[in-house]
Structure 1
């Protein structure tokens, strides 16, 4: 399905997040580099803004369509990701952050955005 224009910016941001997530997920826990830790610190700021935009623009729409489970998952994962990224010196947390971020991006791209687009296309 071609991505709706309203979601293109968010999808592009997902691509950058996925690159970091893959780097963290594939790194052995005890060898997460200073460079990766610094990238997480920077990403946390960017993710906070990204999450805020999603929560302010997408959640009201999801709720209006009765998509409560998707809304809850979105909010919970945002909270978990911010929590895990809060200590960039904790290798275990960073590894978990990478794994969850990868799964979260896939969830949004494959499920959440697809559901939203289907609702938008169903409207006259």
Structure 2
């Protein structure tokens, strides 16, 4: 299905998030001395990219889902965002488990949005996503 222009932009950001998750998995150190650098990379990327992405979705996408009666999708997205914020914050004290939990949660969240939320926003799903509204 063809994506609306605004969803394409957000999907490109999702691709960057998946690259981070894959890189984090590859970098998860067996050597605990490398753990602070991995955790800091996650926290920096979260602050620089993911935080703004989440805010944009919460401001523009989730209200459209709610208006269309898809509150369950909006609520899950908000819960996912909050969980990812918590996981990133927890990495102020890095652990291998925390790094892995963040990577797994980010991967699952991106799959949920791409495969379920975006499909619900497309015109064929009964909702028209106006790319000029954002």
TM-score of the alignment, normalized to the shorter chain, above 0.5: yes
Alignment TM-score, normalising by the size of structure 1: 0.86
Q: 5+ residue gaps in structure 1?
A: none
Report the Cα offset of residue 25 of structure 1.
3.8
Matched, 1:100 2:110: no
Matched with 1:4 is 4
Matched with 2:53 is 50
Matched with 1:120 is 128
SS of the counterpart of 1:66? coil
Report the Cα offset of residue 27 of structure 1.
5.4
SS of the counterpart of 2:83? helix
Q: 5+ residue gaps in structure 2?
A: 130-134
Moved more, 15-24 or 72-81: 15-24
Moved more, 44-53 or 24-33: 24-33
* 1:29–1:95 CA contact under 8 A, matched in 2: no
Matched with 1:37 is 39
* 1:21–1:98 CA contact under 8 A, matched in 2: yes
Matched with 2:13 is 13
Matched with 1:61 is 64
Matched, 1:86 2:89: yes
* 2:7–2:118 CA contact under 8 A, matched in 1: yes
Instruction: State the alpha-carbon separation in 1 of the partners of residues 77 and 15 from structure 2.
Output: 18
Report the Cα offset of residue 35 of structure 1.
4.1
Residues 85, 30 of structure 1: CA spacing in aligned structure 2 closer, same or farther, 3 A cutoff?
farther
